[in-house]
Copies of this chain bind each other. A is one copy, B any other.
Amino acid sequence: MGHKKIRNMEEFAAVSGLSRPTVSKYFNDPDSVRSSTRERIETAIEKYDYRPNIFAINQNRKLTKNIGIVVPYLADPFFAEIARKIQKRCFEAGFWPMLFSAHGEQQLENDILDGLRGLRPAGVLLAPLGRASDRAEIEKFTRDVPTVLFDSNIEGIGEAFVGSDNFSFVSQTVEYLTRSGEPPSFFEMQTPANPNANKRRLAYISMMERLGHEPNVIKVKGEGWEFERIGRDGALKILQERALPTDTVLCSNDRLAIGFLSACYELEIRVGRKEGCSLRVASNDDHPFAKFTSPSLTTAAHDYDSVANGSVETLFELIESGGRFSKRTETLYPAKLVLRASA
Contacts and interface: CB of A to CB of B under 8 A. Distances in A.
Interface of A: 51, 53-56, 58-59, 74-77, 80-81, 83-84, 87-88, 91, 96, 98-101, 103, 108, 111, 114-115, 118-120, 228-229, 232, 258-259, 261-262, 265-266, 288-289, 291-296, 341
Contacts of A88: 103, 108
Contact of A295 (B265, B292, B293): B265
A96 B117 CA distance: 13
A91 B108 contact: yes
Nearest to A82: B75
A118 B74 contact: no
A14 B33 CA distance: 44
| Chain B CB within 10 A, most for which of A258, A294, A295 | A294
Contacts of A55: 55-56, 58-59, 120
Given A51-B118, A74-B74, A91-B108, 9 more contacts: A51-B114, A55-B56, A74-B80, A75-B77, A80-B80, A87-B101, A91-B111, A99-B101, A258-B292
A115 B99 CA distance: 14
Contacts of A261: 292, 294
Contacts of A294: 261-262, 265, 293-294
A50 to B, nearest CB: 11
Complex copy number for this chain: 2
13 contacts: A55-B58, A55-B120, A74-B74, A74-B84, A77-B77, A88-B103, A91-B111, A98-B98, A99-B100, A228-B291, A262-B291, A262-B293, A262-B296
A115 B96 contact: yes
A335 to B, nearest CB: 20
A39 B96 CA distance: 37
A259 B292 contact: yes
A115 to B, nearest CB: 6
B292 A228 contact: yes
Contacts of A54: 118-119
A55 B61 CA distance: 11
A84 B80 contact: no
A254 to B, nearest CB: 11
A255 to B, nearest CB: 9
Contact of A228 (B120, B258, B289, B295): B289
A327 to B, nearest CB: 28
A297 to B, nearest CB: 11
A101 B88 CA distance: 9
A339 to B, nearest CB: 15
Nearest to A81: B75
Contacts of A228: 289, 291-292
A87 to B, nearest CB: 7
Nearest to A99: B99
Contacts of A111: 91
A103 B74 contact: no
Contacts of A83: 74
Q: Which 9 A-B pairs have the closest CB atoms?
A: A265-B294, A294-B294, A55-B59, A75-B80, A262-B292, A54-B118, A55-B58, A55-B55, A228-B292
